[in-house]
Amino acid sequence: MSVQFGQITIIGAGLIGSSVARAIQRCAATATLVLCDKDKDVLAEAKALRLADIYQIDLVKAVTNSDLVILAVPVGAMAAIGEMMAPALKTGAIVTDVGSVKASVFKALKPFMPEGVHLIPGHPVAGTEQSGPSAGFASLFEDRWCILTPPEDCDKVALKALTALWEKFGSKIEIMEAEHHDLVLAITSHVPHLIAYNIVGTASDLEEVTSSEVIKYSAGGFRDFTRIAASDPTMWRDVFLNNKDAVLEMLGRFSEDLTALQRAIRWEDGDALYKLFTRTREIRRKIIDAGQDDAKADFGRPHKD
């Protein structure tokens, strides 16, 4: 495959940044790949893994001359990075990100973007509970959705180039409004993570059950929740603080439905329970039929490369 960009810079060499680096290397999408991270140990780990051509702790130096800058940092870190790197951005460059929330990222970055720089936020809907450069893998994005949320006046050529790159990674592309993205992901990703954090927290707080019993007898359902609840604390703190309205809206609905379930159990309304469980089983089957599930669901995705 041919080189599409002269220089690409990835800011943040963690799970997603390092997976993007590996995917870029695999499809030879750039002549020069620059990897930047604020943490020197992370950069050293990335270097040992040979994830890029240049390793740079200085943000300004890292983005200078880049045709594409990909921000792969927690969403709460975007604004400060945007402000710091803005003066060094090349005219015509594309700035994108991989953050799990979209409206707040656009709002955080837009004011700093110089004239002639194309800001196109993105979100690969693929990941694991792991963090850091060693946890990444090139096939992470294969057959997964990558949602792009370009502004209405987005440059068509820039959008086409970014779309082509994600397609090279094996992703399926969906174009969406940022606010709609945040509402959909609140129910499909953010609230499920909150539920997992909460149930594992509740179990560990139980006074009459020791924490060693929780670990010893954790099977099936609870174990699956612990995988999700092991996800990165910084990343998820930032997701909830930056998608507050949509998460609270979905959490309100969730609480109402939970109260209905509570009532059904109290009044021994077996029909209501049976009906709901039948409906939810159908949803699981539809997800499998649509190819959106894989065996990794239990313990993270196996590394395929």
Ligand X SMILES: O=C(O)C(=O)C[C@]1(C(=O)O)C=C[C@@H](O)C=C1
Ligand Y SMILES: NC(=O)c1ccc[n+]([C@@H]2O[C@H](COP(=O)([O-])OP(=O)(O)OC[C@H]3O[C@@H](n4cnc5c(N)ncnc54)[C@H](O)[C@@H]3O)[C@@H](O)[C@H]2O)c1
Binding site for ligand X (CB under 6 A): 100, 125-129, 189, 231
Smallest gap from Cβ 38 to ligand X, in A, equals 21
Indicate whether 29 belongs to the interface with ligand Y (CB under 6 A). no
| Per CB under 6 A, 15 contacts ligand Y | yes
Which of the stretches 126-134, 199-207, 263-271, 291-299 binds ligand Y when contact is defined by CB under 6 A?
A: 126-134
Q: Give yes or no for residue 121 binding ligand Y (CB under 6 A).
A: no
* Helix/strand/coil for 119: strand
Which option in ligand X, ligand Y, none does residue 269 bind, with CB closer than 5 to 8 A by kind? none
Q: Which of 23, 13, 16, 2 is nearest to 166 (CA)?
A: 23
What distance in Å separates the CA atoms of residue 14 and residue 25, rounded to the nearest whole number? 16
Q: Assess 100 for contact with ligand Y (CB under 6 A).
A: yes
Rounded (5°) CA angle 61-63-64: 65
Choose between 15 and 119: whose C-beta lies nearer to ligand X.
Answer: 15
Q: Considering the complex, what minimum distance in angstroms separates the CB of residue 166 from ligand X? A: 14
Q: How many CB atoms lie within 10 A of CB 301?
A: 16
CB of 296 to ligand X, least distance (A): 8
Site residues (CB under 6 A) for ligand Y, limited to 138-167: none
Confirm or reject binding of residue 24 to ligand Y (CB under 6 A): no
- Using CB under 6 A, pick the residue from 8, 72, 162, 250 that binds ligand Y: 72
Q: Which does 121 bind (CB under 5 to 8 A by kind): ligand X, ligand Y, none?
A: none
CA distance 270 to 276: 10
Tokens of 198: 């909460």
Please provide the distance, in angstroms rounded to a whole number, between the alpha carbons at the two ends of the chain: 18
Q: Structure tokens of 221?
A: 């359902």
Q: Which phi and psi angles does 173 have, rounded to 5°?
A: -105, 135
182 binds ligand Y (CB under 6 A): no
92 in the Ramachandran plot: left (φ > 0), alpha (ψ -120 to 50) or beta?
Answer: left
Q: Does 77 bind ligand Y (CB under 6 A)?
A: yes
Minimum CB separation of residue 235 from ligand Y in Å reads 5
Q: What is the DSSP string of 206-230?
A: -SSS-HHHHHHT--HHHHHHHHHHT
Which of residues 38 and 180 has its CB atom nearest to ligand Y in the complex?
38
- Give the phi and the psi of residue 5 in degrees, each rounded to 5: -125, 145
145-148/122-124 β-pairing: antiparallel
**Residue 132 binds what, of ligand Y, ligand X, none (CB under 5 to 8 Å, by partner type)?**
ligand Y
Q: What's the one-letter identity of residue 79?
A: A
- With CB under 5 to 8 Å by kind, the binding choice for 12 among ligand X, ligand Y, none is ligand Y
- Contact residues: ligand Y, CB under 6 A: 11-17, 36-39, 42, 72-75, 77, 81, 98-100, 124, 127-128, 131-132, 232, 235, 239
